[in-house]
Amino acid sequence: MLRRAPLTFISANRPLRYQPQQRGITMLMLNKNRLLVPNTQHVLLQQRGAAMFIGRLLRGALKIRYLVLGGALGGGMTLQKSYEQWKENLPDMKWLEQYMPPPEKIDAFRENLIKLSSNLKDSFEVNPKLKELGEAKYQNMRDWFDRRLEEAIQATEKAEVEGENGFSENFLRIPVAKNNNQEGNAGSPAPSENLTSRLERMQDELMQNQLKYQKQVDRLEKENRELRRQLLLRKTGAPPKRVKKSLIDMYSEVLDELSEFDSSYNTQDHLPRVVVVGDQSSGKTSVLEMIAQARIFPRGAGEMMTRSPVKVTLSEGPYHVAQFKDSSREFDLTKEQDLAELRREVELRMKNSVRGGHTVSNDVISMSVKGPGLQRMVLVDLPGIISTVTQDMERHTKDAIKHMSELYMSNPNAIILCIQDGSVDAERSNVTDLVSQVDPQGRRTIFVLTKVDMAEENLTNPDRIQKILAGRLFPMKALGYFAVVTGRGRKEDSIQTIKEYEEQFFRKSKIFKDGRIMSAQVTTRNLSMAVSECFWKMVRETVEQQADAFKATRFNLETEWKNNFPRQRELDRDELFEKARGEILDEMVNLSQVSAKQWEELFMQRLWEKVSSHVFENIYIPAGQSGNSGQFNTLVDIKLREWADQTLPMGSVEAGWEGLHKELQTFMKKSSVSKDNDEVLNNLKEAVLLETLKKHVWEDKAADMLRVIQLNALEDRAVHDKQHWDNAIKFLESCLKERLNETEQRLQELLGPSTKEKWIYWKYSTPDQSLRSAIRNELDKILYKDPTHLPILKPDEIITIKGNLQGCVEQDVNEPMILETWDSLYRRHFLRNSLQKAYSCRKGYFLYQQGLAADECNDVVLFWRIQQMLKVTSKALRQQVVNREARRLDKEIKEVLEDFGQDRDQKEKLLTGRRVLLAEKLKRVRHIQEKLEEFVQALNKEKSN
Note the pLDDT of residue 140.
Answer: 66
Q: Smallest Cα–Cα separation from 226: which of 319, 101, 126, 333?
A: 319
Pairing relationship of beta strands 274-278 and 331-332 according to DSSP bridges: unpaired
Q: Smallest Cα–Cα separation from 873: which of 555, 606, 574, 662?
A: 606
Q: pLDDT class for 195, splitting at 50, 70, 90?
A: low
* CA dist 551 → 261, 920, 924, 931 (Å): 15, 16, 12, 11
Note the pLDDT of residue 178.
Answer: 36
Q: Smallest Cα–Cα separation from 388: which of 359, 354, 352, 426?
A: 359
DSSP 778-816: HHHHHHHH-TT--SS--HHHHHHHHHHHHTT-SSPP-HH
Q: Smallest Cα–Cα separation from 479: which of 525, 537, 524?
A: 537
284 has pLDDT over 60: yes
Note the pLDDT of residue 769.
Answer: 86
User: Is 277 strand, coil or helix?
Assistant: strand
Greater pLDDT, 249 or 185: 249
Note the pLDDT of residue 623.
Answer: 87
Q: pLDDT class for 742, splitting at 50, 70, 90?
A: very high
* C-beta atoms surrounding 279 within 10 Å: 21
Note the pLDDT of residue 164.
Answer: 39
**What is the rounded average pLDDT of the residues 454-479?**
75
420 has pLDDT over 80: yes
Between 9-13, 56-60, 898-902, the lowest mean confidence (pLDDT) is in: 9-13
Greater pLDDT, 182 or 424: 424
* C-beta atoms surrounding 834 within 10 Å: 20
873 has pLDDT over 90: yes
**What is the rounded average pLDDT of the residues 114-137?**
52
* CA dist 740 → 125, 143, 841 (Å): 155, 127, 19
Between 229-238, 282-291, 333-342, 832-841, the lowest mean confidence (pLDDT) is in: 229-238
Sequence-ordered strand ranges (E) for 331-485: 331-332, 365-370, 377-381, 415-421, 445-450, 480-483
874 has pLDDT over 90: yes
Mean pLDDT, the chain, integer: 75
875 has pLDDT over 90: yes
Q: How far apart are CA 765 and CA 748, in angstroms?
A: 11
User: Is 10 strand, coil or helix?
Assistant: coil
**What is the rounded average pLDDT of the residues 167-177?**
35
872 has pLDDT over 90: yes
Q: How far apart are CA 640 and CA 634, in angstroms?
A: 10
3-state DSSP helix/strand/coil % of the chain, to nearest 5: 65, 5, 30
**What is the rounded average pLDDT of the residues 918-943?**
83
β-pair partners for 481: 447
Q: How far apart are CA 196 and CA 179, in angstroms?
A: 7
335 has pLDDT over 80: yes
pLDDT digits (tens, 9 = 90+) for 676-712: 778 888 888 889 988 988 888 888 888 888 999 999 9
Q: Helix crossing, 701-715 with 629-645: angle to 10°?
A: 170
Note the pLDDT of residue 58.
Answer: 56
Q: What are phi and psi of 174, to 5 degrees?
A: -75, 120
CB 758 within 8 A of CB 750: no
Question: In this prediction, what percent of the chain has a pLDDT beyond 70?
Answer: 69
CB 436 within 8 A of CB 418: no
b/e 366-376 (16+ beta carbons within 10 angstroms → b)? bbbbbbbbbbb
176 has pLDDT over 90: no
Greater pLDDT, 259 or 527: 527
Note the pLDDT of residue 80.
Answer: 55
Q: How far apart are CA 901 and CA 184, in angstroms?
A: 81
Pairing relationship of beta strands 310-315 and 365-370 according to DSSP bridges: parallel
Q: pLDDT class for 64, splitting at 50, 70, 90?
A: low
**Structure-derived torsion over alpha carbons of residues 30, 31, 34, 37, reported in degrees to the nearest 10:** -20
Q: How far apart are CA 639 and CA 619, in angstroms?
A: 6
54 has pLDDT over 70: no
464 has pLDDT over 80: no
**What is the rounded average pLDDT of the residues 392-405?**
82
Between 9-13, 79-83, 658-662, the lowest mean confidence (pLDDT) is in: 9-13
**What is the rounded average pLDDT of the residues 935-944?**
78
Q: What are phi and psi of 246, to 5 degrees?
A: -70, 160
Between 177-181, 320-324, 915-919, the lowest mean confidence (pLDDT) is in: 177-181
Note the pLDDT of residue 928.
Answer: 83
Q: How far apart are CA 581 and CA 58, in angstroms?
A: 89
CB 75 within 8 A of CB 91: no
38 has pLDDT over 50: no
DSSP 8-state class, residue 279: B
Cβ burial of 672 (10 Å; 0-12, 13-18, 19+) is middle
**Structure-derived torsion over alpha carbons of residues 879, 882, 886, 891, reported in degrees to the nearest 10:** -120
User: Is 178 strand, coil or helix?
Assistant: coil
CB 885 within 8 A of CB 524: no
User: Is 736 strand, coil or helix?
Assistant: helix
Greater pLDDT, 836 or 154: 836
Q: Smallest Cα–Cα separation from 428: which of 280, 212, 225?
A: 280
Query: What type of residue sits at position 209?
Result: N
**Structure-derived torsion over alpha carbons of residues 882, 885, 888, 889, reported in degrees to the nearest 10:** -100
Tell how far CA 681 is from the center of its chain: 28
170 has pLDDT over 90: no
Q: Smallest Cα–Cα separation from 625: which of 783, 784, 788?
A: 788
**What is the rounded average pLDDT of the residues 494-515?**
77
Cβ within 8 Å of residue 692, ≥6 positions away: 889, 892, 893, 896
DSSP 8-state class, residue 396: T
